[in-house]
Amino acid sequence: MIETRGTSARALARTAGLSHSTVSAVLDKLDANPDARVEARTLDKIAAALEVDATWLRTGRGEMDNNAQQGPDLQAETRSAVARFFNLPNWAALLRAARALEPTLPDWVWQRLAVAAPVLIAPPSPPSVAELGRYIVRHETPPQ
């Protein structure tokens, strides 16, 4: 699935707001046993990042893209030559710290911010990333 979406486990982890080790462990677990139990929230985050239906990802039933959340084309964004927040060398640390400052912001906010093109005149800080998250929640439409 990752390869068909033109991404990597690391990029998927960044987009889903999960650690690379978590995504790798889930993928290894499911490769070994497709019926293995995986926390629903984790699979929901992975499904949203891959833009596939979460039920399809969990069960293999239904249409892969049926009811998938509409949002940015993460694969196209990943392949783009334009810089993205998730490409910043310290993005994982910035994201963790910003989430700690704004723990009530939904995951879709951080996913949108990850694929946004930064226009920076100074290195981003956790408070500035948290402020961008607050901006997104005020001005963007949540996915359905």
Quick: pLDDT tens for 72-124: 454 554 444 557 888 888 888 889 999 999 999 998 999 888 888 887 777 88
Same domain for 91 and 69: no
Final residue before a domain boundary, out of 55, 79, 103: 79
Segment of 52-56, 59-63, 64-68, 91-95 carrying the highest mean pLDDT:
91-95
DSSP annotation of 70: P
What does the DSSP 8-state code read for residue 60? Answer: S
96 and 127 belong to one structural domain: yes
Identify whether the C-beta of residue 76 lies closer than 8 Å to the C-beta of residue 3.
Answer: no
Using a cut of 0.85, tell me whether the model's pTM lies above it. Answer: no
Please, which pLDDT band fits residue 127 given cuts at 50, 70 and 90? very high
Higher-confidence position of 69 and 39: 39
pLDDT band at residue 42 using 50, 70 and 90 as cut-offs:
confident
Domain count, the chain: 2
End-of-domain residue from the set 47, 62, 79: 79
| Residues of the domain holding 63 | 9-79
Q: The tokens of 50 are what?
A: 């891959």
Is residue 29 in some structural domain? yes
